Structure 1
Amino acid sequence: MRLRNLIGVLVALFLVCPAVAQAQPEVELAYVEWAETVASTNVVQTVLEDMGYDVEITPVSAAAMWQATATGDVDGFTGGWLPVTQGEYHEKLKDEVEVINKNLNGAKIGLAVPEYVEIDSIAELNANAEKFREEIIGIDPGAGIMGKAEKALDQYNMDNMELVAGSGATMTAVLKNRYEEKEPVVVTAWTPHWMFSRWDLKYLKDPKGTFGQAEYIATVVRPELKNDMPKVYNFLKNFEWTLDECQQVMLWIEDSTPEEAAERWVEENPEKVKAWKQGA
């Protein structure tokens, strides 16, 4: 009797709630641990989980992020900086991935200094190298912006300056410490980033155009996603936001966790989220 009762309960559950037996497939997203990509990835994860999906997010290098999407090891990512910063990866893999939208316009990369620093151009750095401890504070070695910074060292003949590799966290830590001491410091920088909301910073002019003009951040997926998970595909295609919205999440992350900041933003922006879900 107990077995029959158990079978009866399971059948009843299936009839009342067939979703129990038809779980949504898992969505796998890759991301680079840059502030804006952490923000967008966690917001996307939060919304997809609200839609009933299990979502796994994996931090990797930029090169691995593109490659994993091309091979289908992940479903995609929201941090494709184009056309310059990650343009090399896109050019190599453009036939194996799909760029489905521009989720943020007005992105920018370059070298930045505090507003109190008297120089205004990259061309002035080498002559003032000692003031900056003869170093440009960079991020992880595989980042596209680091390649551009290396190129800038050559194009601007900065033989007195050295590019110091590290991570986004170490870069902002150095910036914070020297800013508080009102000491000159130059860092590899990009927008959107919470550091521009927290401190008074300025991009150095780039007369040679080494870092390119304004960029956009794209959502990139494996080509099969549209057929395999059309609702996820449509949601990711609809996902877009502004610099201010992205930087708000980044600021909240600094005072909490990526998950908490994403959940707060999603809760406070229901109309935006509703628009993303159209057709999903």
Structure 2
Amino acid sequence: MKKHTLNQHVRFASLALMASAGLAVGSAAQADDHNSINLAYVEWSSEVASTNVIAAVLEQEGYDVDLTSLSAAAMFQALASSDADAIVAAWLPTTHADYMERLGGDVEDLGVNLDGTKLGLVVPAYADVDSIADLNDHADSFNGEIIGIDPGAGLMSLTEEVVDTYDLDLQLRSGSGATMTAALASAIRNEENVVVTGWTPHWKFSRWDLKYLEDPKNVYGGAEQIHTIVREGLGDDMPRAYAILDAFEWTPEQMGEVMLMNQEEGADPYENAKQWVEDNQDIVNGWINGES
């Protein structure tokens, strides 16, 4: 299996941008060798887990799998222009709605592969607060801040709206997924209060006892689902791979197992995915046999 990072695969992202500009782009995904399949994904812990697991299954079934890490925009562009064959990383109906509105006519949505996603503010289970509406009463115990992630993330925009809507006296601090979980780990280790931007599925819920704060004004909205989306024509070119992708479906708990494995020092996500596939062959056989 070949894996390309965003830095290593600049040409791939460039092709996607060329396609969006209306230029003709050659399609490696439509080459004569239909045993070769390219899976694109974003570098989120959830999508690293799911993409490597489905890659391990496809490789087990004889496919030459190529993984390409891209930004969300480039991922959808690559799929729409057939430079990628499939993704198992589309958060709908909200997070990736803009991409689907623009490109949905050029791809095929195979439906939900994971149900039960959630966005919100997360605190340790021992924290003496249960609602966002009550955060101001405990602002000092949270050091007057909410620990966020990347400043450009959709979750951060929603959290800024939360701060305004609830008139919170806490400042939203940007960082990254890694700095957020590091702050969470440090607070729990010292039995201190901390509030972070959170989402499910995420490995932190497998490692620590956490809870979402209630959102009575529903700023974060309802649960989303993660969808599998493929390029047009994949069903004709690779009907067996198409059937496996169509049947792929698992739970947040199962994904959490893989994400937690990936947090171990020196972990290899693909080797972990292969181990999970080997340990859960009964579930995998359902995908292979087209049983969703």
TM-score of the two chains, using structure 1 as the length reference: 0.84
How far did residue 279 of structure 1 move?
Answer: 5.5
How far did residue 191 of structure 1 move?
Answer: 1.4
How far did residue 24 of structure 1 move?
Answer: 4.5
Give the Cα separation in 2 of the matches to 1:92 and 1:173: 36
Does structure 1 retain, via aligned residues, the 8 Å contact 2:34–2:237? no
- Residue identity in the other structure for 1:94: G
Question: Percent identity among equivalent residues?
Answer: 51
Does structure 1 retain, via aligned residues, the 8 Å contact 2:51–2:88? yes
Does structure 1 retain, via aligned residues, the 8 Å contact 2:246–2:290? no
Does structure 2 retain, via aligned residues, the 8 Å contact 1:42–1:259? yes
Match of 2:182 among 167, 173, 183: 173
Match of 1:241 among 250, 261, 269: 250
How far did residue 46 of structure 1 move?
Answer: 0.6
Local SS of the residue matching 1:182: coil
Q: Kindly tell me: are residues 199 and 98 of structure 1, through their superposed partners in 2, closer, same or farther at Cα, counting changes over 3 Å?
A: same
CA-based RMSD of the aligned residues comes to 2.1
Match of 2:212 among 179, 192, 203: 203
Local SS of the residue matching 1:254: coil
Local SS of the residue matching 1:208: coil
Does structure 2 retain, via aligned residues, the 8 Å contact 1:70–1:93? yes
| 5+ long unaligned stretches in structure 1 | 1-21
How far did residue 170 of structure 1 move?
Answer: 2.0
1:121 corresponds in structure 2 to: 131
Local SS of the residue matching 2:263: helix
Is residue 264 from structure 1 mapped to residue 258 from structure 2 by the alignment? no
- Residue identity in the other structure for 2:278: E
Give the Cα separation in 2 of the matches to 1:228 and 1:262: 26
Is residue 112 from structure 1 mapped to residue 122 from structure 2 by the alignment? yes
Q: Kindly tell me: are residues 65 and 23 of structure 1, through their superposed partners in 2, closer, same or farther at Cα, counting changes over 3 Å?
A: closer
Does structure 1 retain, via aligned residues, the 8 Å contact 2:121–2:195? yes
How far did residue 64 of structure 1 move?
Answer: 2.7
- Residue identity in the other structure for 1:259: Y
Within a 5 Å distance, the mapping from 1:63-212 to structure 2 comes to 63-158=73-168, 160-212=169-221
Give the Cα separation in 1 of the matches to 2:102 and 2:157: 17
Match of 2:57 among 33, 39, 47: 47
Does structure 2 retain, via aligned residues, the 8 Å contact 1:172–1:195? yes
TM-score of the two chains, using structure 2 as the length reference: 0.81
1:4-52 residue CA offsets vs partner (Å, 9 max, x unmatched): xxxxxxxxxxxxxxxxxx9544322222222221111110111111122
Q: Kindly tell me: are residues 115 and 260 of structure 1, through their superposed partners in 2, closer, same or farther at Cα, counting changes over 3 Å?
A: same
Q: Kindly tell me: are residues 226 and 24 of structure 1, through their superposed partners in 2, closer, same or farther at Cα, counting changes over 3 Å?
A: closer
